[in-house]
């Protein structure tokens, strides 16, 4: 199945996300990867305060709806 990965630009785990994307694509898995610059790990928990978080949640929801048909 297709994979959606959202990574924070200021996150010690960001490079892990990039590596996972590379490996999935190398294995032929369709991947949508979004890296949000200027935000920290867990920023989506701040959706009431951070517009980038709201946008990320909307983007993830759209990816889910598309994969479910």
What is the average pLDDT across 38-57?
95
pTM above 0.75, yes or no: yes
What is the average pLDDT across 44-63?
95
What would the two tokens of residue 26 be?
């190398």
What is the per-residue pLDDT across 15-36, written as a single tens digit (0 to 9) for each? 999 999 999 999 999 999 999 9
The two beta strands, 3-10 and 31-40, are: parallel
What would the two tokens of residue 49 be?
């305060």
Q: List 36's β-bridge partners, or say none.
A: 8
What pLDDT score was predicted for residue 69? 84
Percent of the chain residues past pLDDT 70, beyond the cut = 100
Cα–Cα distance measured from residue 48 to residue 46, given in angstroms and rounded to the nearest whole number: 5
């Amino acid at each position: 199945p297709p994979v959606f990965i959202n990574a924070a630009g200021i996150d010690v785990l960001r490079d892990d996300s990039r590596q996972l994307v590379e490996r999935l694509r190398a294995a032929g898995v369709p991947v949508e990867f979004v890296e949000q610059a200027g935000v920290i790990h867990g920023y989506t928990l701040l959706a009431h305060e951070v517009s980038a978080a709201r946008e990320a949640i909307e983007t993830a929801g759209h990816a889910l709806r598309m994969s479910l048909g």
